[in-house]
Amino acid sequence: MIQPRSIGAGRKGGPPIAYVNARLLDPASAMDSLGGVIVADGVIADIGPQLARAAALGARGIEAVDCQCACLAPGLVDMRVQLREPGEEHKETMASAGAAAAAGGITTMICLPNTRPVLDDAALVESVMRRARETACVHIRPYAAVTKGLAGREMTEMGLLAEAGAVGFTDATHAVADSVVMRRALAYSKAFNRPIIQHPEEPSLAQGGVMNEGEIAMRLGLTGIPIVAEVIMVERDLRLVELTGGRCHIAHLSTAAAVDAVRRAKARGINVTADTAPQYFALNELAVGDYRTFAKVSPPLRSEEDRQAVVDGLKDGTIDAIASDHAPHDQDSKRLPFAQAAFGMIGLETLLAVTLELVHNRRLSLMQAVAKLTSGPAAILGLPAGTLAKNAAADLVLFDPERPWRIAEKKFRSKSKNSPFDGRPVQGRALKTLVDGAVVFTLEE
Protein backbone atom coordinates (compact mmCIF):
# COMPACT_ATOMS: atom_id res chain seq x y z
CA MET A 1 0.00 0.00 0.00
CA ILE A 2 1.37 3.41 -1.01
CA GLN A 3 0.96 5.97 1.74
CA PRO A 4 1.27 9.77 1.73
CA ARG A 5 4.72 10.98 2.72
CA SER A 6 3.30 12.97 5.63
CA ILE A 7 2.05 9.84 7.40
CA GLY A 8 4.05 7.86 9.94
CA ALA A 9 5.68 8.10 13.33
CA GLY A 10 9.31 9.10 13.10
CA ARG A 11 8.63 11.72 10.41
CA LYS A 12 9.65 15.32 10.91
CA GLY A 13 7.64 16.67 13.82
CA GLY A 14 6.24 13.27 14.73
CA PRO A 15 7.02 10.98 17.69
CA PRO A 16 10.08 8.72 17.47
CA ILE A 17 9.72 5.11 16.42
CA ALA A 18 12.13 2.20 16.63
CA TYR A 19 12.56 -0.58 14.08
CA VAL A 20 13.99 -3.47 16.06
CA ASN A 21 14.98 -7.10 15.53
CA ALA A 22 16.27 -6.29 12.05
CA ARG A 23 19.31 -7.40 10.09
CA LEU A 24 21.05 -4.06 9.59
CA LEU A 25 22.80 -3.82 6.22
CA ASP A 26 24.88 -0.71 5.60
CA PRO A 27 27.59 -1.08 2.93
CA ALA A 28 28.86 2.44 3.64
CA SER A 29 30.01 1.36 7.11
CA ALA A 30 30.31 -2.39 6.42
CA MET A 31 27.61 -3.03 9.05
CA ASP A 32 25.88 -6.41 8.92
CA SER A 33 24.40 -7.26 12.31
CA LEU A 34 21.18 -7.85 14.19
CA GLY A 35 20.00 -4.59 15.68
CA GLY A 36 17.63 -1.70 15.32
CA VAL A 37 17.15 1.89 14.25
CA ILE A 38 15.40 4.75 16.05
CA VAL A 39 13.85 7.28 13.70
CA ALA A 40 12.99 10.75 14.99
CA ASP A 41 12.33 14.06 13.23
CA GLY A 42 13.01 12.46 9.87
CA VAL A 43 16.54 11.28 10.68
CA ILE A 44 18.26 8.27 12.17
CA ALA A 45 18.53 9.19 15.85
CA ASP A 46 20.26 5.99 16.94
CA ILE A 47 21.35 2.70 15.41
CA GLY A 48 23.11 -0.45 16.44
CA PRO A 49 22.94 -3.92 17.95
CA GLN A 50 21.91 -2.47 21.33
CA LEU A 51 18.49 -1.79 19.77
CA ALA A 52 17.82 -5.37 18.71
CA ARG A 53 15.03 -5.84 21.27
CA ALA A 54 12.01 -3.69 22.11
CA ALA A 55 12.02 -4.20 25.89
CA ALA A 56 14.49 -1.42 26.70
CA LEU A 57 12.65 1.08 24.54
CA GLY A 58 9.35 0.93 26.40
CA ALA A 59 10.79 2.77 29.37
CA ARG A 60 11.88 5.55 27.03
CA GLY A 61 8.38 5.91 25.60
CA ILE A 62 9.44 4.85 22.11
CA GLU A 63 7.08 2.76 19.99
CA ALA A 64 8.81 -0.31 18.56
CA VAL A 65 8.15 -2.19 15.33
CA ASP A 66 9.41 -5.79 15.25
CA CYS A 67 11.08 -6.38 11.89
CA GLN A 68 11.18 -10.15 12.45
CA CYS A 69 14.79 -10.43 11.24
CA ALA A 70 14.05 -8.88 7.84
CA CYS A 71 16.84 -6.77 6.30
CA LEU A 72 16.84 -3.05 7.06
CA ALA A 73 19.01 -1.13 4.60
CA PRO A 74 19.37 2.39 3.24
CA GLY A 75 16.69 3.25 0.70
CA LEU A 76 17.78 2.43 -2.83
CA VAL A 77 19.27 5.20 -4.98
CA ASP A 78 18.26 4.79 -8.63
CA MET A 79 20.60 6.90 -10.74
CA ARG A 80 18.89 6.52 -14.13
CA VAL A 81 15.15 7.13 -14.48
CA GLN A 82 13.06 8.64 -17.25
CA LEU A 83 10.08 10.34 -15.60
CA ARG A 84 8.28 11.71 -18.72
CA GLU A 85 7.06 14.72 -16.72
CA PRO A 86 6.92 17.40 -18.01
CA GLY A 87 5.61 16.70 -21.49
CA GLU A 88 4.53 13.04 -21.64
CA GLU A 89 2.45 12.57 -18.52
CA HIS A 90 0.33 9.92 -20.25
CA LYS A 91 3.36 7.59 -19.96
CA GLU A 92 4.47 8.47 -16.43
CA THR A 93 4.28 11.25 -13.86
CA MET A 94 6.39 12.10 -10.85
CA ALA A 95 3.57 10.87 -8.65
CA SER A 96 3.16 7.50 -10.43
CA ALA A 97 6.91 6.96 -10.68
CA GLY A 98 7.25 7.87 -7.00
CA ALA A 99 4.63 5.28 -6.06
CA ALA A 100 6.37 2.64 -8.17
CA ALA A 101 9.75 3.55 -6.70
CA ALA A 102 8.45 3.33 -3.13
CA ALA A 103 7.02 -0.13 -3.85
CA GLY A 104 10.46 -1.17 -5.08
CA GLY A 105 12.33 0.16 -2.03
CA ILE A 106 13.72 3.18 -3.90
CA THR A 107 13.84 6.41 -1.91
CA THR A 108 15.89 8.58 -4.29
CA MET A 109 15.55 8.79 -8.08
CA ILE A 110 17.72 10.77 -10.47
CA CYS A 111 15.76 11.78 -13.56
CA LEU A 112 17.15 12.20 -17.06
CA PRO A 113 16.75 15.57 -18.80
CA ASN A 114 14.99 14.24 -21.92
CA THR A 115 11.64 15.71 -20.93
CA ARG A 116 9.56 18.13 -23.00
CA PRO A 117 10.98 20.73 -22.72
CA VAL A 118 14.53 19.45 -22.21
CA LEU A 119 16.15 20.26 -18.86
CA ASP A 120 18.78 22.56 -20.32
CA ASP A 121 17.82 25.72 -18.41
CA ALA A 122 18.21 26.51 -14.70
CA ALA A 123 14.57 27.58 -14.36
CA LEU A 124 13.41 24.22 -15.71
CA VAL A 125 15.66 22.33 -13.27
CA GLU A 126 14.25 24.35 -10.39
CA SER A 127 10.71 23.74 -11.64
CA VAL A 128 11.23 19.97 -11.74
CA MET A 129 12.63 19.95 -8.22
CA ARG A 130 9.71 22.02 -6.93
CA ARG A 131 7.15 19.82 -8.69
CA ALA A 132 8.83 16.70 -7.31
CA ARG A 133 8.61 17.99 -3.75
CA GLU A 134 4.92 18.71 -4.23
CA THR A 135 3.81 15.45 -5.86
CA ALA A 136 6.24 12.57 -5.31
CA CYS A 137 6.50 10.44 -2.18
CA VAL A 138 10.24 9.87 -2.74
CA HIS A 139 13.20 12.18 -3.40
CA ILE A 140 13.71 13.18 -7.03
CA ARG A 141 16.89 14.91 -8.19
CA PRO A 142 17.52 15.96 -11.79
CA TYR A 143 20.36 15.68 -14.24
CA ALA A 144 20.74 18.55 -16.67
CA ALA A 145 21.58 18.29 -20.35
CA VAL A 146 25.17 18.53 -21.55
CA THR A 147 24.09 20.24 -24.77
CA LYS A 148 21.16 22.52 -25.55
CA GLY A 149 18.16 20.57 -26.73
CA LEU A 150 20.23 17.36 -26.48
CA ALA A 151 21.41 18.27 -29.98
CA GLY A 152 25.07 17.53 -29.29
CA ARG A 153 26.43 20.86 -30.46
CA GLU A 154 26.14 23.86 -28.10
CA MET A 155 26.97 23.31 -24.43
CA THR A 156 24.57 24.31 -21.69
CA GLU A 157 25.36 26.76 -18.87
CA MET A 158 26.73 24.09 -16.54
CA GLY A 159 27.52 26.46 -13.68
CA LEU A 160 23.98 27.82 -13.50
CA LEU A 161 22.50 24.35 -13.84
CA ALA A 162 24.68 23.02 -11.03
CA GLU A 163 23.64 25.92 -8.80
CA ALA A 164 19.99 25.16 -9.61
CA GLY A 165 20.41 21.61 -8.33
CA ALA A 166 21.56 19.41 -11.21
CA VAL A 167 23.59 16.51 -9.81
CA GLY A 168 25.28 15.70 -13.12
CA PHE A 169 25.13 16.30 -16.86
CA THR A 170 23.99 13.95 -19.57
CA ASP A 171 22.35 13.98 -22.97
CA ALA A 172 20.19 11.11 -21.72
CA THR A 173 19.63 8.48 -24.43
CA HIS A 174 21.89 10.34 -26.87
CA ALA A 175 25.65 10.02 -26.83
CA VAL A 176 27.72 13.20 -26.86
CA ALA A 177 29.26 12.18 -30.16
CA ASP A 178 31.31 15.28 -30.98
CA SER A 179 34.73 14.77 -29.40
CA VAL A 180 35.41 18.49 -29.07
CA VAL A 181 32.12 19.05 -27.24
CA MET A 182 32.78 16.09 -24.95
CA ARG A 183 36.29 17.33 -24.20
CA ARG A 184 34.96 20.76 -23.23
CA ALA A 185 32.16 19.28 -21.16
CA LEU A 186 34.57 17.15 -19.16
CA ALA A 187 36.88 20.12 -18.60
CA TYR A 188 34.08 22.52 -17.53
CA SER A 189 32.24 20.04 -15.32
CA LYS A 190 35.40 19.52 -13.31
CA ALA A 191 35.00 23.03 -11.89
CA PHE A 192 31.55 22.13 -10.54
CA ASN A 193 32.45 18.64 -9.29
CA ARG A 194 29.70 17.03 -11.34
CA PRO A 195 30.15 13.93 -13.53
CA ILE A 196 29.33 13.70 -17.21
CA ILE A 197 27.09 10.66 -17.70
CA GLN A 198 27.50 9.13 -21.13
CA HIS A 199 25.20 6.88 -23.15
CA PRO A 200 27.94 4.71 -24.69
CA GLU A 201 26.91 4.27 -28.30
CA GLU A 202 28.65 5.62 -31.39
CA PRO A 203 25.59 6.90 -33.29
CA SER A 204 26.77 6.39 -36.86
CA LEU A 205 27.54 2.73 -36.15
CA ALA A 206 24.27 2.21 -34.31
CA GLN A 207 22.10 4.12 -36.81
CA GLY A 208 19.10 2.07 -37.89
CA GLY A 209 19.92 -0.80 -35.56
CA VAL A 210 17.19 -2.29 -33.38
CA MET A 211 18.85 -5.24 -31.59
CA ASN A 212 22.25 -6.81 -31.02
CA GLU A 213 24.15 -7.55 -34.22
CA GLY A 214 24.62 -11.27 -34.70
CA GLU A 215 23.06 -14.54 -35.74
CA ILE A 216 19.70 -13.93 -34.06
CA ALA A 217 19.29 -10.51 -35.72
CA MET A 218 20.10 -12.09 -39.08
CA ARG A 219 17.56 -14.86 -38.55
CA LEU A 220 14.85 -12.36 -37.58
CA GLY A 221 15.74 -10.06 -40.46
CA LEU A 222 16.46 -7.13 -38.14
CA THR A 223 19.25 -4.56 -38.43
CA GLY A 224 21.84 -5.08 -35.71
CA ILE A 225 23.78 -2.72 -33.46
CA PRO A 226 27.39 -3.92 -33.28
CA ILE A 227 29.28 -4.36 -30.03
CA VAL A 228 31.99 -2.07 -31.38
CA ALA A 229 29.52 0.87 -31.26
CA GLU A 230 29.66 0.70 -27.47
CA VAL A 231 33.33 0.05 -26.93
CA ILE A 232 34.50 2.72 -29.40
CA MET A 233 32.57 5.38 -27.50
CA VAL A 234 33.82 4.11 -24.14
CA GLU A 235 37.45 4.04 -25.29
CA ARG A 236 37.19 7.57 -26.72
CA ASP A 237 35.71 8.96 -23.52
CA LEU A 238 38.34 7.27 -21.39
CA ARG A 239 41.03 8.99 -23.45
CA LEU A 240 39.28 12.35 -23.06
CA VAL A 241 39.00 11.87 -19.29
CA GLU A 242 42.72 11.15 -19.21
CA LEU A 243 43.36 14.30 -21.23
CA THR A 244 41.12 16.68 -19.28
CA GLY A 245 41.22 15.29 -15.75
CA GLY A 246 37.42 15.41 -15.77
CA ARG A 247 35.05 12.79 -14.41
CA CYS A 248 33.01 10.52 -16.63
CA HIS A 249 30.35 7.99 -15.70
CA ILE A 250 29.50 5.33 -18.29
CA ALA A 251 25.84 4.33 -18.15
CA HIS A 252 24.33 0.87 -18.71
CA LEU A 253 27.36 -1.14 -19.79
CA SER A 254 26.22 -4.11 -21.86
CA THR A 255 29.26 -5.64 -23.59
CA ALA A 256 32.28 -7.65 -22.50
CA ALA A 257 34.60 -5.37 -24.50
CA ALA A 258 33.34 -2.19 -22.79
CA VAL A 259 33.50 -3.76 -19.33
CA ASP A 260 37.10 -4.76 -19.99
CA ALA A 261 37.94 -1.26 -21.25
CA VAL A 262 36.62 0.30 -18.02
CA ARG A 263 38.45 -2.32 -15.95
CA ARG A 264 41.77 -1.49 -17.61
CA ALA A 265 41.15 2.25 -17.29
CA LYS A 266 40.49 1.96 -13.58
CA ALA A 267 43.71 0.00 -13.20
CA ARG A 268 45.51 2.97 -14.80
CA GLY A 269 43.90 5.36 -12.32
CA ILE A 270 41.51 7.06 -14.74
CA ASN A 271 38.61 8.84 -13.00
CA VAL A 272 35.75 6.78 -14.40
CA THR A 273 32.74 5.00 -12.90
CA ALA A 274 30.10 2.84 -14.51
CA ASP A 275 26.70 1.32 -14.00
CA THR A 276 24.56 -1.33 -15.63
CA ALA A 277 20.89 -2.26 -15.51
CA PRO A 278 19.16 -5.54 -14.55
CA GLN A 279 18.32 -6.46 -18.13
CA TYR A 280 22.00 -6.67 -19.00
CA PHE A 281 22.83 -9.25 -16.31
CA ALA A 282 19.48 -11.06 -16.16
CA LEU A 283 18.60 -11.34 -19.87
CA ASN A 284 20.34 -11.88 -23.17
CA GLU A 285 19.34 -11.38 -26.80
CA LEU A 286 17.26 -14.57 -26.75
CA ALA A 287 14.63 -12.61 -24.80
CA VAL A 288 13.73 -10.83 -28.06
CA GLY A 289 12.23 -14.19 -29.03
CA ASP A 290 9.58 -13.79 -31.70
CA TYR A 291 9.89 -10.00 -32.08
CA ARG A 292 9.03 -9.21 -28.46
CA THR A 293 9.13 -5.42 -28.33
CA PHE A 294 9.20 -5.24 -24.52
CA ALA A 295 12.75 -6.63 -24.87
CA LYS A 296 13.76 -3.81 -27.22
CA VAL A 297 16.07 -1.65 -25.12
CA SER A 298 19.00 0.68 -25.66
CA PRO A 299 21.73 -0.51 -25.56
CA PRO A 300 20.26 -3.77 -26.88
CA LEU A 301 20.27 -7.05 -25.03
CA ARG A 302 23.53 -8.75 -25.91
CA SER A 303 24.95 -12.28 -26.14
CA GLU A 304 25.24 -14.70 -23.24
CA GLU A 305 28.99 -14.08 -23.19
CA ASP A 306 28.38 -10.36 -22.76
CA ARG A 307 25.80 -11.00 -20.02
CA GLN A 308 28.30 -13.09 -18.08
CA ALA A 309 30.95 -10.37 -18.51
CA VAL A 310 28.59 -7.79 -17.00
CA VAL A 311 28.09 -10.08 -13.99
CA ASP A 312 31.87 -10.43 -13.67
CA GLY A 313 32.20 -6.65 -13.84
CA LEU A 314 29.76 -6.24 -10.98
CA LYS A 315 31.57 -8.87 -8.95
CA ASP A 316 35.08 -7.42 -9.30
CA GLY A 317 34.00 -3.80 -8.83
CA THR A 318 34.51 -2.61 -12.40
CA ILE A 319 30.82 -1.70 -12.43
CA ASP A 320 30.03 0.53 -9.46
CA ALA A 321 26.24 0.70 -9.50
CA ILE A 322 23.01 -0.83 -10.76
CA ALA A 323 20.27 1.48 -12.07
CA SER A 324 16.77 0.60 -13.21
CA ASP A 325 17.08 2.44 -16.56
CA HIS A 326 13.33 3.01 -16.18
CA ALA A 327 11.90 4.05 -19.57
CA PRO A 328 8.09 3.96 -19.54
CA HIS A 329 6.14 3.80 -22.81
CA ASP A 330 2.48 3.57 -23.63
CA GLN A 331 1.04 0.71 -25.66
CA ASP A 332 0.97 2.78 -28.84
CA SER A 333 4.76 3.09 -28.64
CA LYS A 334 5.40 -0.61 -28.05
CA ARG A 335 2.59 -2.48 -29.83
CA LEU A 336 4.27 -1.96 -33.19
CA PRO A 337 6.49 -4.00 -35.53
CA PHE A 338 9.83 -4.51 -33.79
CA ALA A 339 11.76 -2.10 -36.01
CA GLN A 340 9.28 0.73 -35.37
CA ALA A 341 8.71 0.16 -31.62
CA ALA A 342 10.28 2.51 -29.06
CA PHE A 343 13.38 1.50 -27.10
CA GLY A 344 13.06 1.02 -23.35
CA MET A 345 11.49 -0.87 -20.46
CA ILE A 346 10.26 -0.02 -16.99
CA GLY A 347 12.21 -1.18 -13.95
CA LEU A 348 11.47 0.64 -10.71
CA GLU A 349 9.43 -2.13 -9.09
CA THR A 350 11.68 -4.96 -10.28
CA LEU A 351 15.11 -3.41 -9.56
CA LEU A 352 15.60 -4.97 -6.13
CA ALA A 353 14.19 -8.41 -6.91
CA VAL A 354 16.13 -8.92 -10.15
CA THR A 355 19.35 -7.67 -8.55
CA LEU A 356 18.88 -10.19 -5.73
CA GLU A 357 19.04 -12.97 -8.33
CA LEU A 358 22.80 -12.32 -8.33
CA VAL A 359 22.80 -13.13 -4.61
CA HIS A 360 20.67 -16.25 -4.94
CA ASN A 361 22.91 -17.41 -7.81
CA ARG A 362 25.97 -16.78 -5.60
CA ARG A 363 27.53 -14.27 -7.93
CA LEU A 364 27.41 -11.39 -5.40
CA SER A 365 27.13 -11.30 -1.64
CA LEU A 366 24.06 -9.60 -0.20
CA MET A 367 26.23 -6.72 1.00
CA GLN A 368 27.75 -6.29 -2.48
CA ALA A 369 24.31 -6.24 -4.10
CA VAL A 370 22.95 -3.68 -1.63
CA ALA A 371 26.04 -1.51 -2.17
CA LYS A 372 25.42 -1.38 -5.93
CA LEU A 373 21.94 -0.02 -5.19
CA THR A 374 22.72 2.39 -2.34
CA SER A 375 26.17 3.65 -1.36
CA GLY A 376 27.59 3.07 -4.85
CA PRO A 377 25.33 5.46 -6.79
CA ALA A 378 25.19 7.92 -3.87
CA ALA A 379 28.99 8.21 -3.85
CA ILE A 380 29.16 8.68 -7.64
CA LEU A 381 26.75 11.62 -7.49
CA GLY A 382 27.86 13.02 -4.12
CA LEU A 383 24.42 12.59 -2.57
CA PRO A 384 23.74 12.49 1.19
CA ALA A 385 21.97 9.15 0.81
CA GLY A 386 22.66 5.42 0.78
CA THR A 387 23.76 5.09 4.40
CA LEU A 388 22.42 4.15 7.83
CA ALA A 389 24.67 6.61 9.61
CA LYS A 390 23.43 8.38 12.74
CA ASN A 391 21.85 11.76 11.89
CA ALA A 392 21.46 10.75 8.23
CA ALA A 393 18.04 11.10 6.62
CA ALA A 394 15.78 8.21 7.59
CA ASP A 395 15.41 6.91 4.03
CA LEU A 396 15.09 3.18 4.64
CA VAL A 397 13.89 -0.04 3.05
CA LEU A 398 12.86 -3.13 5.01
CA PHE A 399 13.01 -6.16 2.72
CA ASP A 400 12.90 -9.93 2.82
CA PRO A 401 15.57 -11.27 0.45
CA GLU A 402 13.97 -14.72 0.38
CA ARG A 403 10.33 -13.79 -0.17
CA PRO A 404 9.09 -15.47 -3.39
CA TRP A 405 6.72 -13.73 -5.80
CA ARG A 406 5.94 -13.54 -9.48
CA ILE A 407 6.32 -10.30 -11.39
CA ALA A 408 2.95 -9.26 -12.81
CA GLU A 409 2.61 -6.19 -15.01
CA LYS A 410 -1.05 -5.72 -14.07
CA LYS A 411 0.04 -4.95 -10.50
CA PHE A 412 2.63 -2.31 -11.43
CA ARG A 413 2.11 1.16 -9.93
CA SER A 414 3.82 2.68 -12.94
CA LYS A 415 1.47 4.06 -15.58
CA SER A 416 3.32 2.02 -18.21
CA LYS A 417 3.61 -1.77 -18.29
CA ASN A 418 6.45 -2.41 -20.74
CA SER A 419 8.50 -4.97 -18.81
CA PRO A 420 10.21 -8.05 -20.28
CA PHE A 421 10.21 -9.53 -16.75
CA ASP A 422 6.43 -9.99 -16.68
CA GLY A 423 5.65 -13.48 -15.33
CA ARG A 424 9.19 -14.06 -14.03
CA PRO A 425 9.42 -15.82 -10.62
CA VAL A 426 11.78 -13.95 -8.28
CA GLN A 427 12.90 -13.88 -4.65
CA GLY A 428 13.19 -10.75 -2.55
CA ARG A 429 10.71 -7.97 -1.95
CA ALA A 430 10.40 -4.62 -0.19
CA LEU A 431 8.13 -4.88 2.85
CA LYS A 432 8.23 -1.25 3.95
CA THR A 433 9.79 1.95 2.61
CA LEU A 434 10.47 5.12 4.60
CA VAL A 435 11.36 8.57 3.27
CA ASP A 436 12.47 11.18 5.80
CA GLY A 437 11.11 8.88 8.49
CA ALA A 438 7.63 8.67 6.98
CA VAL A 439 6.30 5.30 5.85
CA VAL A 440 5.49 5.69 2.15
CA PHE A 441 4.93 2.02 1.30
CA THR A 442 3.86 -1.10 3.15
CA LEU A 443 3.44 -4.41 1.37
CA GLU A 444 -0.09 -5.72 1.62
CA GLU A 445 -0.33 -9.42 2.39
Up-side HSE of residue 143: CA atoms within 13 Å toward CB? 31
| Catalytic, out of 121, 306, 325, 395 | 325
Q: Residue 361: phi, psi to the nearest 5?
A: -90, 5
Residue type, 14: G
CA dihedral in degrees (280, 284, 285, 287; nearest 10)? -110
Distance of CA 378 to the CA centre of its chain: 10
Distance of CA 77 to the CA centre of its chain: 6
Check if 325 is active-site: yes
Up-side HSE of residue 390: CA atoms within 13 Å toward CB? 4
* C-beta pairs of 303-308 under 8 Å, 24+ apart in sequence: 303/212, 303/214, 305/256, 306/227, 306/254, 306/255, 306/256, 306/280, 307/280, 307/281, 307/282, 307/283, 308/256
Active site residues: 325
